[in-house]
Amino acid sequence: MLIEENIHEIQQGLSDNVKLIAVSKTRSVEEINEAYKAGVRDFGENKVQELVAKYDAFGNDVRWHLIGHLQRNKVKYIVGKVWLIHSLDSIELLKEVEKQYSKNNAIANVLIQINIGREDSKTGIKLEDLQGLIEECEKCSSVQVNGLMAIIPIGNEENCRNYFKEMKRIYDELSKKQYKNIIMDYLSMGMSSDYELAIEEGSNVIRVGEGIFGKRIYNNKQEEQ
Ligand SMILES: *Cc1c(COP(=O)(O)O)cnc(C)c1O
């Protein structure tokens, strides 16, 4: 019952405009079910194969979020299964998403992931490439951009706040523009250790894994992203 308690505790502190995504990577269907019973309907996975397997185990009232890096050759497996892709980070990926979704007469809802800390170890588009990606998004017919996502570098509170503030500034700036296919509804930032800070700085989508399910144990050489 710990999962349920964790969820209730987190939710009590959230205002209505903040969406909680339970990050269920590496977790069993039973664990996900416990979160489901506690009222969670949004689940985040970082691997396509795992997401698709879990998708099949649940009904349609669960919203799956792809929060990890998306490889171009995997896009075809997620059409119709993912409620929101958080990790659009290149024009090449955009083109594949457009191709696969238009083939299926579907609309891909995506967030642009920004590598706000400019870390080589992380995916996400660099700021100087953002405008180019936006222009390509405007040409699409099957892609809708709904906001931004970031995974910030590890750091102290002040560092974290600065990255969150920077993201909020970009988000607000884009909100004022009238781009085709692009609206700013979601700012996805904040994880177990820093979601409260993220919300204070303007996040409205938080992605919480260990804070709900407990410590993650990786087996078969699976790496944390
Ligand atoms: C794993 C993961 C999370 C959740 O991390 P926790 O520290 O378990 O809350 C959030 N976002 C992304 C992109 C992740 O891969």
Would you say residue 31 has pLDDT above 90? yes
pLDDT of residue 118: 96
**By three-state DSSP, how is residue 146 classified?**
strand
CA separation for the pair 181, 221 (Å, rounded): 39
Instruction: Check if 68 has its Cβ closer than 6 Å to any atom of ligand 1.
Output: yes
| Domain assignment present for 33 | yes
| Domain assignment present for 168 | yes
CA separation for the pair 81, 64 (Å, rounded): 7
Would you say residue 7 has pLDDT above 70? yes
What CATH number did the domain enclosing 69 receive? 3.20.20.10
> Domain limits at 154?
2-217
- Tens of pLDDT along 94-143? 999 999 999 999 999 999 999 999 999 999 999 999 999 999 999 999 99
Would you say residue 43 has pLDDT above 70? yes
Report the mean per-residue pLDDT for the chain. Answer: 95
| Domain assignment present for 222 | no
pLDDT of residue 218: 78
- Centroid of ligand 1 to alpha carbon of 208 (angstroms): 6
| Domain assignment present for 145 | yes
| Domain assignment present for 223 | no
| Domain assignment present for 187 | yes
| Domain assignment present for 224 | no
- Centroid of ligand 1 to alpha carbon of 183 (angstroms): 24
pLDDT of residue 112: 98
pLDDT of residue 140: 98
Nearest atom (ligand 1) to Cα of 151: 13
Would you say residue 1 has pLDDT above 80? no
CA separation for the pair 24, 29 (Å, rounded): 9
Kindly indicate the confidence band of residue 60, based on its pLDDT and cuts at 50, 70 and 90.
confident
The total number of structural domains in the chain stands at: 1
Which stretch of DSSP H or E encloses residue 137?
helix 130-138
Kindly indicate the confidence band of residue 59, based on its pLDDT and cuts at 50, 70 and 90.
confident
CA separation for the pair 184, 177 (Å, rounded): 10
- Centroid of ligand 1 to alpha carbon of 152 (angstroms): 11
pTM of the model: 0.95
The CA distances from residue 36 to 7, 22, 78, in Å, are 10, 10, 21
Would you say residue 225 has pLDDT above 50? no
Kindly indicate the confidence band of residue 220, based on its pLDDT and cuts at 50, 70 and 90.
low
Environment class of 217 (CB within 10 Å of its CB; exposed 0-12, middle 13-18, buried 19+): exposed
Q: Which tokens in the block code for residue 4?
A: 């349920």
| Domain assignment present for 57 | yes
Nearest atom (ligand 1) to Cα of 216: 8
Q: How far from the centroid of its chain's Cα atoms is residue 38's Cα?
A: 21
